[in-house]
Every structure is written in C-alpha cells, then in structure tokens.
Structure 1
C-alpha cells in the first residue's frame, strides 16, 4: 500500500448515491466537530475533500490515481461475509456496526475501552486523510480516513513486557454468514510486532472517500498496514491486546506453509501456488511489477534489518 493524499479528486467522484443516506447520519454524528474544526468529516470534505488529501508520506506522485468508490466497495476479500469478491457487498448489508466499543488491554499501564464514535470525534485533523495502495495479488488505491495506531497505543502506556500487538475481530455468525462455514477459525485474529504497530504508516481506518466506513470494507474500524499483504489488515476490530509473545494469526494458523506471520510484500518470495512478482490493479487490464514492501522500502525496510525475509515471510 502506498500512502499519499491526492489533491485532484473531483467532487463527483467522492460520494456515491448509495452512500448519501449514510453520509447524512454521519454528518449528524459529526456536527459538533464542524464547529470545533476537528473530527472525521469537515466542511472541506463536504466542499470537495481534495484540499485535505495531501501527504508528506507520498512516494509515487500523481501518476497513481485512486480507484473509484464503486470498485472499492464492490470487490473485497472479507471471508466473514463469503469467499467471493462480490459476496461482502451483498452479504454485509445487515451487519450492525454500531454501537461499537474497542478495547485496548494487556501489557499496558492504562487499559482503555473506547466508544468508536467518541474516538472518531477527537481524531486530529492532520492525522485523518490517507491514500493507500492495497495488495493481495490484485491491488487498489484507496483514500482511507483514519489515524495512526500509535496514537491509541501511546494512550494506554505499553510496559516493558509489550513486544507484540494482537488484534481480534468480532464473531457474529448470524450477521456474518461466512462464519457459519469453517473456512477459518473464527473470530479472525492478526498480529504485529510492536515496532510495526507503532510505525506512522500503520493506521486504524474508520472511513473512506470522506464517508463512514462501509460494512464490506471493515466497518466500523479496521487495521491498515500498507507494506503488507491485505489479509494482515483485520476488519471490524473489537479487541487489541499488547502481549509478550508472538500472537497467532488467522491465515498462518490455517496454513503456515503459505502464510507467515510477517506477510511483507516481497516479490522475491513466491506463494507456493503462484508468483508474487506482479499484481493486477483493479480497473486496469495488464499486470504491473510488485514493489518490495509495496513501495515503502525507504520508510520500513530498517524494521527488518538483518532478517532473512525469505525465511520470515
């Protein structure tokens, strides 16, 4: 994933008719923030959103346009709602993403339980807009709205025993019909090393295209780790624990031969059943070369200095 903030998004591309009603409710929730000049939705977002979407973390310039809202919300990997790419958009409509609490606990001095909407309301303006490229063999460029995970972790004061961060999604098989099948062990779990979690490119996303996060994209809050394959970016996060030992992760637990803990984008390491040297950008016909660390080598390669990235895949 490549994080940038585009400055040339046309207003007509920002909000689809299908999300207009959710925008109306979103604006009600954020109305107090408009006066305060902080929070997820702002007057600039309503006017066009483009002025806010600039980032000092940009690495590819303006030659990497964002995907359309229709593409982003209709082509998803989210096995809790089915294994087909169009299943989540169809099957996630009845998922109740609110009310929602996010608990952060474990090896910390100040464990917290956050109401997600109260948390969103205090996101600093300068931390809110990200443009990322997501890679899972196919790729998209998505204008997420969120904030660095480090912001939350610093609040809970990790102690000296905290070495890893474990994430757990929610288990609701009546609403998440994919959980009625034993495709994976539910709930979905993921993990990062603490230094990976504290990196400024690791974010908690709570929206996209200036709107509340759609259910099929991981509402109400999801992890986004831009230099790793997309399955690391756990959706509908409910619990975060700081722990001393490397935590289990869903795909590694299901098939450790094919899915390692780190899951860094590394075109030099083939998946046992296919090459990872190229990717297909949704909306494009031809494939393009996959970049090491998804183009973020300058920012994150130092985290793995001295590691054999073929062994620790």
Structure 2
C-alpha cells in the first residue's frame, strides 16, 4: 500500500482485484481436467462476492496502514456459528440466508423506539470506508476495509434515556436458513452487548459492507457491528434487534463459559485465555494466508488512544 501525507488512497484498497483474477483462473481450470475436483469448491466460492456496490468514502482518520488481509481471506475464513463451527463453514453454508426483506428494531430505554428496514438504515447517515484491525480470540487477526457509519448516529436518533447504561445486540436465529442453529452449542439467538459509552464511541461501526460492496452473507449480512478494540466475537452479525438496558445484558459466549469469555473482552495481551496466550497473533494477509508469522498483540488492538480513557481506573484483568 502507498501513502501520501499518511493518508491511504482509495485506489490502494485493491487486493480484491487480485482475487478476481484468481477466480478467472479457477473457471478456466474447471473447464479442463481439474473440473470435477474444483466444481464443488467453485460453487461455494460464488458466495464470496456480492455485486451490490456501496458508495462509501474512505475516512483516513480511521484507516490503519497495515497490509490488508485480502478479499478471499476475509470472505472464506470466518466465525459465524449459525452456519457451522469450522472456519470454512460460513462460506460453504451461508447461501441459504435471505437478506431481503430485513428489519431491525431499536427499543428498550429510548425516547423514540423504531423499527427500520435495511434500506432505511443504509440511508440514515453517509457511508464511510474504514480500515480496521480485527483480532480473533483464537489468535488470528485480519485487516479489513469495512463500510458503514458510527453506531452512535443511529443511537442518537432514538435518544437513549438517562437510565440506559448498556446496549444489547440480538442476531437472527432461523433454523430454516441457518443450519448451525439446530445445534445446542450456544443458547440461540446469538446475543452480544456493550456499555453505552462503548457503543457511542466513534470507532464502533454499524456495518453494511466490506471492500466497497454489501456484506457477503458469511460476513454477517445485511447489517452487523464492528468493534475493533475487542475480540471478534463481540462484533455481532446479522442483527435484528438492538435493545438499550439498565442492567448488563447476558451475552452468548459469557453464558457458554464466563471464565473464558468476559463481558468486556478487550484485546489485552496481558490477560491470557485459560487455554492459550493472547500475547501474539497471526496476521492473515493477502500473500501469507493462515501461515503468517506471529506478531505481538497490542493493547486494545492498537486503538488505545481512542478507547483507553473509557476504562480508566478499572482492573482489566478482573474486568476482562
């Protein structure tokens, strides 16, 4: 990537073009002697791209300079348990998800509760593209250009009451569309939550796309949140309800095992997961894939200047 005056040029976010070139090679190979072997993979690969374009303007204030992970990696290596527990399951299974019609309700401790369809949400505020680091609790990370706007712009419209302290996110759980919901791994629907000040932080992105296109189904279409200073499971996908509450909401992974998954789940290299260290990560990049060398993990995933003040005085080993 190139930079001018420390700004990422929109034209520099182009690894998807490389991926599209590979797609043509795969098509050509499928027509030859490798066709039978590649055909099942290629039918799933078609899920990775959504042709709907989003008019998003790059926001250089929220654009890290790290090498991008590449469209193929971002759309084929995911956690989305509603479609299976393997990293490739969402890519293989998410074609069943219907993203139109889609509504999301904002309710609870607000003056103006509302239910909006996805098209109204898309028009609520100008769309931005932000290049964020994302860190998964298992130890791998990516750098992704997300498209959306600050969640605070939506929350401000509904006017939170003074008693509101938390924001709960509830995802779709439809057994007909989501094969993983038939399992008892989690207590469905998937639920996540933030403190209200975390939800109102400008970094918290109400997200509709990546790489300038509408979210692929396996990445949480049609709307999700992205919270880049927390481990990835805090960024709820395929949201259908946002509820403001006075009490801390119960979240899916904390209910599964509170010892391993705390409510805050800030990226913290000093607090190990009970089964592995969080001090390092493997950055999945365009030319390295899952075999990237380990790098040191930064506190708050490198976003400390923008979020650390929210946790002033807190014991982040206790409030993990």
Identify the TM-score tier after normalising by the shorter chain: 0.7 to 0.9
TM (norm. structure 2) is: 0.84
| Aligned mates of 1:227, 1:133 — CA distance in 2 | 8
**What CA RMSD, in Å, does the superposition of the two structures yield over aligned residues?**
1.9
| Aligned mates of 1:309, 1:103 — CA distance in 2 | 32
1:166 paired with 2:171, answer no
- Does 116-125 or 175-184 show the bigger shift? 116-125
Cα pair 1:5 1:143 within 8 Å, conserved? no
When residues 286 and 11 of structure 1 are mapped into structure 2, their CA distance, relative to the original with a 3 A threshold, is closer
Equivalent of 1:103 in 105, 109, 120: 105
| Aligned mates of 2:119, 2:7 — CA distance in 1 | 24
**1:1-313 alignment, distance < 5 Å:** 6-7=8-9, 8-10=12-14, 13=17, 16=20, 18=46, 22-23=50-51, 26=52, 40-41=54-55, 52-58=57-63, 60-61=64-65, 64-125=66-127, 128-136=128-136, 137-283=139-285, 284=288, 285-313=292-320
| Aligned mates of 2:134, 2:48 — CA distance in 1 | 25
| Aligned mates of 2:77, 2:220 — CA distance in 1 | 13
Q: Compare CA radii of gyration and give the structure with the larger one.
A: 2
Query: Where does residue 45 of structure 1 map in the other structure?
Result: none
For structure 2, which runs of at least 5 residues remain unmatched after alignment?
Answer: 1-5, 24-45
TM (norm. structure 1) is: 0.86
- 1:56 is paired with a residue whose SS is strand
Give per-residue Cα distances to partners, 1:43-98, cap 9 Å, x unaligned.
xxxxxxxxx3241234x53xx11111111000001111000000000010111111
When residues 11 and 305 of structure 1 are mapped into structure 2, their CA distance, relative to the original with a 3 A threshold, is closer
Pairwise CA distance, 1:19: 7.2
Q: Which runs of 4+ in 1 moved over 6 A?
A: none
Pairwise CA distance, 1:266: 0.4
How many residues matched? 282
Cα pair 1:5 1:53 within 8 Å, conserved? no
For structure 1, which runs of at least 5 residues remain unmatched after alignment?
Answer: 28-39, 43-51
Cα pair 2:50 2:215 within 8 Å, conserved? no
Cα pair 1:15 1:211 within 8 Å, conserved? no
Pairwise CA distance, 1:311: 0.2
